Structure 1
Amino acid sequence: MQTSFFLQQLINGLSLGSMYALIAIGYTMVYGVLRLINFAHGEIMMIGAYTALFCITALNLPFLAALALAMIFAACIGIAMDKIAYKPLRKVPKISLLITAIGMSYFIQNLFNILFGARPRLFEAPEYLQKVFIFGNLNISIVSIFVPVLTFFILLFVLYVLYKSKYGIAIRALAFDVSTVNLMGIDANKIISIVFALGSALAAIGGVFWALNYPSVDPYMGVLIGLKAFAAAVLGGIGSVVGAVLGGLIIGFSEVIVVAFFPELGGFKDAFAFIFLVFVLLFKPSGILGINYERSRF
């Protein structure tokens, strides 16, 4: 096996895993605070991609401005989703919230299908993001370098917010006990909105860069990607931000390795993420960096 071939797959897996990680962080933060698996999180990613596409094609905005607006719009959608669908059900059994999340997922999918049709739309990257550097047999695109670096700095930012800011302290306190937080004068609903906004903005980033790598968007693009990101969050230890990133990278690498080294199994690459998850959970049910919820959060 050539070293260059292995390095190429390493870079591809790092880029793919970083996109899963960005989406998985939102899953794990919402779960850490509300014990809610927001199955509509993949649709937030899809909304972010469509928003960026609209800003670029209809408004003729530069890519970075489109990305910023996609993040803002996705954050607003995340807050609205919480206010409309989840906030009224805070005190009901968790199964009701879970069913509501699944319902929101299907509602958004079908809404975008009606508005934009099921046909995939081309998402063309700006010229400076289409550049490819060639080092011998290695082909390294700008995006494959930029996404992992961006994910690393986003992870540092999220950890800084959680452990060094007053909002982060409130988020971690809320994850322990909502009633006590309210008694201390903290607006729990405001903090929950911040969590949804942050997680949704990160999902939008993941969606936009996914559309750059696989240059199209469609109303159902978030379904399988969202499930894989959820698997990444569980694999890394749901409730752990670092675990979400680790799980995303592991699943990204596993997909790329299957296709690269076992091409005859390429048709089953989507299943390998969940097969790998099952095997890990058999030996460590809480995930790789699973958290003891009696002692810590995130």
Structure 2
Amino acid sequence: MEYFAQQVFNGLTLGAIYALIALGYTMVYGIIGMINFAHGDIFMLGAFVALIVFLILVTLFYSVPAALALLVMVVVAMLLTSLWSWLIERIAYRPLRGSFRLAPLITAIGVSITLSNFVQVVQGPRNKPIPPMISQTYEVLGVVIALKQIVIICVTAVLLSIFWYLVNRTPLGRAQRACEQDPKMAAMLGIDVNRTISLTFIMGAALAAVAGTLFIMYYGVISFSSGFIPGVKAFTAAVLGGIGSIQGAVLGGLTIGLIEALWSAYFSVDYKDVAAFSILVVVLIFLPSGLLGKSEVEKV
């Protein structure tokens, strides 16, 4: 029983990271109906920014408290990654918004390849390690809980609460929901659609930057290709939960994390990705809109 509880906690930790990334996919799709396949590389950029900030802090200051270092890493990663995402939306996606549906998709793939190769050239192809920042562990009822796992779950819970409040209780959230339902009518009512979409990209990138920072803190290593697999799994989580549903993205991320952890614990770790995607296929056969997704209604 302790072993099962241990794997459940490990799965929730991994699922929390997936949930943060999945929110970026589901937000962008919910408003403009586009899958931003460069979002995984935005996550990777956030992790690299956090790594660079950590190395600068360690170089300038011999001893930096882990909490302060992590806070600075998160803030700087969010700012720079949001700027990258804003530039990508403004330069690569906005001019193609009214074109045929495949154009933004192809552009997103091109942006993903560009970002990955840019980081490969600038930082090199090798894995970049980071010294352990938080190493404390606790044992609760036979379950070993690392302090960094608690940090990941708590940070994710706080950010998701803030994000839920912004979407459901603020003028920006109302503007986002209006643009999701009918962008043309929202523009006629005085909503700046371009600004709303840009802010949506920025919010998604900020969450991905936090996920990247937590990822490198948890695993201790990052490379230029590290955005692909987590990005695909986060996209899978968004589809599993119901693409366009914020609650679905969170549920999908936690579900994928639990599937991976439990499958790795009781079956072959080599097939954990197969298990996650197989569950997605089964769910979509019976629930084409995902676990919490809504069926699309054709507008006339």
User: Is the shorter-chain TM-score for this pair beyond 0.5, marking a shared fold?
Assistant: yes
Residues in 2 aligned to 1:135 and 1:285: alpha-carbon distance in whole angstroms: 40
> Within 5 A, what are the aligned runs for 1:1-298?
3-60=1-58, 62-126=69-133, 129-135=134-140, 137-262=142-267, 265-294=268-297
Aligned partner of 1:119: which letter? R
Q: Secondary structure at the match of 1:11?
A: helix
Deviations 1:167-198 (A, max 9, x none): 00000000111111111222111111110010
What TM-score do you get using the length of structure 1 for normalisation? 0.94
Residues in 1 aligned to 2:212 and 2:56: alpha-carbon distance in whole angstroms: 19
Aligned length: 289
Residues 132 and 217 in structure 2, CA contact (< 8 A), matched pair in contact too: yes
Q: Secondary structure at the match of 2:158?
A: helix
Q: Secondary structure at the match of 2:138?
A: strand
Residues in 2 aligned to 1:78 and 1:291: alpha-carbon distance in whole angstroms: 28
Deviations 1:208-247 (A, max 9, x none): 1111221101000000110000000000001000100000
Residues in 2 aligned to 1:71 and 1:291: alpha-carbon distance in whole angstroms: 31
Residues 18 and 248 in structure 1, CA contact (< 8 A), matched pair in contact too: yes
Indicate the percent of aligned positions where both proteins have the same amino acid.
40
The alpha-carbon deviation at position 154 of structure 1 amounts to: 1.9
The alpha-carbon deviation at position 124 of structure 1 amounts to: 2.4
Residues 24 and 232 in structure 1, CA contact (< 8 A), matched pair in contact too: yes
Residues 39 and 231 in structure 2, CA contact (< 8 A), matched pair in contact too: yes
The alpha-carbon deviation at position 67 of structure 1 amounts to: 1.1
Question: Over the residues paired in the alignment, what is the CA RMSD in angstroms?
Answer: 1.4
Aligned partner of 1:120: which letter? N
What TM-score do you get using the length of structure 2 for normalisation? 0.93
Residues in 2 aligned to 1:287 and 1:261: alpha-carbon distance in whole angstroms: 26
Residues 132 and 139 in structure 1, CA contact (< 8 A), matched pair in contact too: yes
Deviations 1:112-152 (A, max 9, x none): 111111100112242xx221112353211012122222222
The alpha-carbon deviation at position 59 of structure 1 amounts to: 4.1
Where in structure 1 are there 5+ consecutive unaligned residues?
none
Residues 155 and 242 in structure 1, CA contact (< 8 A), matched pair in contact too: no
Where in structure 2 are there 5+ consecutive unaligned residues?
59-63
Residues 73 and 213 in structure 2, CA contact (< 8 A), matched pair in contact too: no
Residues 161 and 168 in structure 1, CA contact (< 8 A), matched pair in contact too: yes
The alpha-carbon deviation at position 271 of structure 1 amounts to: 2.0
Residues in 2 aligned to 1:207 and 1:123: alpha-carbon distance in whole angstroms: 13
Aligned partner of 2:9: which letter? I
Q: Secondary structure at the match of 1:37?
A: coil
